[in-house]
Amino acid sequence: MKCIVVTPEKTIFDKETTFVAIPLFDGEYGIARNHTPVIGRIGAGELRVTLESGEKDIWYIEGGFVEVLNNLISVITNRAFPVAELTREKALESLNVAVKKPSDTEDLYSLRENALQAARTQFRLVDRYNKK
């Protein structure tokens, strides 16, 4: 089955896979070969892909949608980069940006909370994989 990850800038991932775990808005979701069709809203978190070779490819993704149809997993996301590139400094930068977001209306408060949650997720991934 093929997994394609697209950001507003470019296609960043296009490979054959055997399993994909994706962070949906309401929890992690696993996808294997011949999965039933589905569309889901992506949260912020860890995209884990098992390649046909058995290697694991791990990405941080944030927001967007996933569609699964006929052994094609299409991920359209706002932001994505390999977890190996994630550092404490990058996570701290995300946290600082989130903290400075306005929160004086219900909608702005919700956007700020989502940004804070994304920054916390980045720190967890650094602790799990990079320790930098």
pLDDT in tens, 38-92: 999 999 999 999 999 999 999 999 999 999 999 999 999 999 999 999 999 999 9
- Ordered DSSP codes for 83-113: GGG--HHHHHHHHHHHHTS--SSHHHHHHHH
pLDDT above 90 covers what percent of the chain? 95
Mean pLDDT of the chain: 94
- 2-83 CATH fold: ATP Synthase; domain 1 (2.60.15)
Sequence ranges of the domains in the chain: 2-83, 86-130
Q: Residue 123: helix, strand or coil by DSSP? A: helix
Distances, alpha carbon 119 to alpha carbons 51, 53, 116, 123, in Å: 27, 32, 5, 6
Beta pairing class for 11-24 and 27-32: antiparallel
pTM equals: 0.87
Distances, alpha carbon 78 to alpha carbons 12, 32, 36, in Å: 12, 24, 25
Which amino acid does the sequence have at 18?
T
pLDDT band at 130 (very low <50, low <70, confident <90, very high): confident
